[in-house]
Amino acid sequence: MSGMSDPRRFIPRTDVLLADPRFGEPLSRLGRVRVKAALARAQRRAREGVIGPERVADSALAELRCSGPRRVVNATGVLLHTNLGRAPLSEAAVGAVWAASGTTDVELDLGTGRRGRRGRGALAALARAVPAAQAAHVVNNNAAALVLAATVLARGREIVVSRGELVEIGDGFRLPDLLVSTGARLREVGTTNRTSVADYAEAVGPETGFVLRVHPSNYRIEGFTATPGVRELAGLGVPLVADAGSGLLRPDPVLPREPDAATWLAEGADLVTASGDKLLGGPQCGLLLGRADVVERLRRHPLARALRVDKLTLAALEATLEGPPSPTVLALHADPEELLARARVLADRLADAGVQARAVPSSARVGGGGAPGVELPSAAVAVEERLAGPLRAGEPPVLGRAERGRYLLDLRAVAAGDDEVLFGAVVAACG
């Protein structure tokens, strides 16, 4: 092969590629070293004849798009999709994270110039959100909240818990294994479907660290069942720890059967634990709310240091609590008629663009281990099922759900401002 006919002569130089405007976003997001490395790999593939010289830039861009977390449009109809990171943050929370990403007063009292209480803004916001809580503490997730409570209150002692509440919390992790790992012993009472106050009372004794009440937030038992309420268990003479799990801080009429922290505290729970990235709509964290003396014992234990959250989480949590409704709250309370109107507009636009699409009623759900069995009326755009793969491979990726030979793009968890993004993604997937 002569030098003039060698296609390798046409492989673009690195400096030319770096000047391509398409690499501006990867350069700002990933840095010059990562981008140059991707370009070098693409150039090597071109030299080896795997791709043509004209494909070097596209090959590098495709690799860089897959670097790091990618934004995904959640059109599954599952509001809190665990595989998609559960709750999306509000604009206020994102702004707070950006502000806190530099140096911040996370542990500094600017008024005195001395060390301040870590996360005091977030803790004050929690106190305002749940006045029934005398004190609050934040750890890195709800499992950590339970581990801290079990370590401090029941290490070497017993935790009394119903057999019907020994849940598996995801990815094979099981609550009983988690609790036993702290050095506590489980005293199981009742049966899978029925447990009475008397069952708990008979098990309580000198070895009891606390009684644990767990909300089965990711499953539901129906039929011949019985479970005592928090108010009944609060009178057993030992601390009562109640795991609300799904993160509802106050009652919500859309989810009348879902327990909330404020109600459980008012009914006598000494400590309530909950997740921050579920129905609250904030960042991943575990919330501990309850009696001041109990929370202080937990906060001062050495393990609390290992479980503490960073400044970004505290900033996002405070902004979620103090700011406008989170995307999760907005999606939960979305008007089904408005969703259907959006679906019709989007389906008509797609049809005009030559895409087979139509608006259909749909049913969404909370997901993320919250409100099992609750269906939320919704609306979706139905497209051909063959588009599932191209939509996942698009930019941004779009995830819907296959149902009866169709691919449904449910709008309940899609912000109205993203309808244009969804339209472009579907058109591109058909191209």
pLDDT in tens, 254-313: 999 899 999 999 999 999 999 999 999 999 999 999 999 999 999 999 999 999 999 999
What residue ranges of the chain are covered by domains with CATH 3.90.1150.180?
73-86+330-430
The 3-state DSSP class for residue 99 equals helix
Residue 148 DSSP symbol: H
Using CA atoms, how far apart are residues 238 and 233, in angstroms rounded to an integer? 9
Would you state the structure tokens that stand for residue 380, as one six-digit string? 């979706």
pLDDT at position 165 is 87
Q: What is the mean pLDDT of the chain?
A: 92
Q: Architecture of domain 73-86+330-430 in CATH?
A: Alpha-Beta Complex (3.90)
pLDDT at position 373 is 78
pLDDT at position 4 is 55
For a pLDDT cut of 70, what percent of the chain falls above it? 97
Using CA atoms, how far apart are residues 275 and 283, in angstroms rounded to an integer? 9
Q: Mean pLDDT throughout 77-98?
A: 94
pLDDT at position 351 is 95
Q: Side chain identity at 363, as an amino acid letter?
A: S
At 160-218, the pLDDT tens digits run 999 988 888 777 788 899 999 999 999 999 998 899 999 999 999 999 999 999 987 66
Compare 33 and 65 and report the one with higher pLDDT: 33
CATH number of 91-324: 3.40.640.10
Q: How many residues does the chain have?
A: 431
pLDDT at position 1 is 46
pLDDT at position 331 is 97
What residue ranges of the chain are covered by domains with CATH 3.40.640.10?
91-324
Q: Side chain identity at 40, as an amino acid letter?
A: A
Pairing of strands 271-275, 173-174: unpaired
Sign of the torsion formed by the C-alpha atoms of 31, 36, 41 and 42: positive
pLDDT at position 181 is 96
